[in-house]
Copies of this chain bind each other. A is one copy, B any other.
Amino acid sequence: MSRWEPDARGRLQRAAMELYVEHGFEQTTVAEIAERAGLTERTFFRHFADKREVLFFGQEALLELFVSSVAQAPEGTAPFEMAAAALHAVSGVFEDRRPWSLERHRVISANPALAEREQSKMARLSEAVGTALRDRNISEPTASLTASSCISVFHIAFQTWIAEDNTRGFPQIVTETLDALKAVTAGT
Quick one: which of A58-87 are within 8 Å of B by CB?
Answer: 78-81
What are the interface flags for A125-151 relative to B under an 8 Å C-beta threshold, 1 for contact and 0 otherwise? 000000000000000111011101100
Quick one: which of A102-145 are within 8 Å of B by CB?
Answer: 115-117, 119-120, 122-123, 140-142, 144-145
Contact A146 B116 (CB under 8 A): no
Assembled-state Cα–Cα distance A146/B153 (Å): 11
Interface residues on A, range: 35 or more
Contact B187 A181 (CB under 8 A): no
With A120-B119, A120-B120 as contacts: A156 and B141 at CB distance below 8 Å: yes
- Shortest distance from the beta carbon of A163 to any chain B beta carbon, whole Å: 9
8 new A-B pairs (CB below 8 Å) besides A80-B184, A142-B183?
Answer: A78-B187, A80-B185, A119-B122, A142-B184, A148-B155, A148-B156, A149-B184, A152-B152
Point out residues on A near B: beta carbons under 8 Å: 78-81, 115-117, 119-120, 122-123, 140-142, 144-146, 148-149, 152-153, 155-157, 159-160, 177, 180-188
